[in-house]
Amino acid sequence: MKKHLSIILLFCIMLFLAACDSNDEVLLLRLENGKTIETMKKSDFSATLTIHYYVNEKYKELAKNRTYTIQKTAGRYGPNYTIFEVKKVKDGYKIVDSPYENFTMPSVEHFGKEYLPSFTLTGLSGTIERKFDTYSELEDFQDAIDYYLDWLEIIDKDKDKK
């Protein structure tokens, strides 16, 4: 009986450890007013936000005046995110390496509801001025950064002041 209990206890401990998040990196959107998305009330939501970012040195080529968009699709266990580069072409904008690569849109805002607002990285660190239409769109942007863009870290600008 003790052997079975110890096996069950060991199994429970292994399940608990597997459920713990092992990622020590803190990825936060730090907004201009000093609040994070988690502490910001929906009533405080502002349409245009300033987001501070940092790109890992080994991915510096990805941050040389490149514009990106994030596609959000429904998955079995939650949303899935895919990042695409957006290129300016003669007649408008194209999404690179996407199913819609052959289509040109007049502006980046016309890509469709499954795409989050585009953003441009101008160097290894900087800010993104971005207008989000809804609070949930801002939360989706943070989720995509947190889980799918490991080369891009959102800076907590107040972290060094403590």
As a whole number, mean pLDDT of residues 30-49 equals: 58
For 101: left if phi > 0, alpha if psi spans -120 to 50, otherwise beta; the answer is alpha
Read off the pTM.
Answer: 0.59
As a whole number, mean pLDDT of residues 73-77 equals: 83
Considering only CA atoms, which of 37, 114, 108 is closest in space to residue 75?
Answer: 114
Question: SS3 of 63, please?
Answer: helix
Contacts of 90 (CB under 8 A, 6+ apart): none
* Number of separate helices (H) and strands (E) present in the chain: 2, 7
